[in-house]
Structure 1
Amino acid sequence: MPFTNILSQRVSESLKGDLAYERNHELDEERVKLQTLSYMQKNTKMHRAEIIQMTGWDKNKVYRFMKKLREEGLVINKGRGSGAHYVLNEDE
């Protein structure tokens, strides 16, 4: 019987760690979302390089993050290549 309790405690501690990581991850993304939207309100546009510099994320993570903001209708992508940037979606 004691083995079951120890195993349950280990599993419980492991799950707590996973939940804490997930919660922190979500909070980090929410913080970046607020910072990004605030920056765009003040500066009208934001380039991917600026988001990378602000977050320390790689370009693929920034792409996925900004895709999510586009899907939420918060931002739109303008331009192509090195001139590409994001602006707030004024229709929302």
Structure 2
Amino acid sequence: MARFNIHEAESGAIGAGAQADILFQLGIMYATGRDCDVDLVAAHKWLNIAAIKGSASAARMRAELAATMTKADIARALREAREWMTMH
């Protein structure tokens, strides 16, 4: 995943059609540590946002990931997703 895509997702500058797919890829990137450190909170955040935007795959992956996370980490991820959605 290119850093360019991360910047686009953070800024909200990407088109609606591709947005769920890119957000899903961000979640996978953070979940697996591909081109970054593993960050399960960030992974859950991006998968949650992708699921909200209509990605069924993201919803499934988010549920699998949540099973391995603490309640506190899930709460933090949900809070960060809500904040991102409010700003974008």
> TM over 0.5, yes or no?
no
For the pair shown, which has the larger CA radius of gyration, 1 or 2?
A: 1
Query: If each structure's helix is expressed as a fraction of its own residues, which one has the higher value?
Result: 2
Instruction: Normalising by structure 2, report the TM-score.
Output: 0.35
Query: If each structure's strand is expressed as a fraction of its own residues, which one has the higher value?
Result: 1
Instruction: Normalising by structure 1, report the TM-score.
Output: 0.34
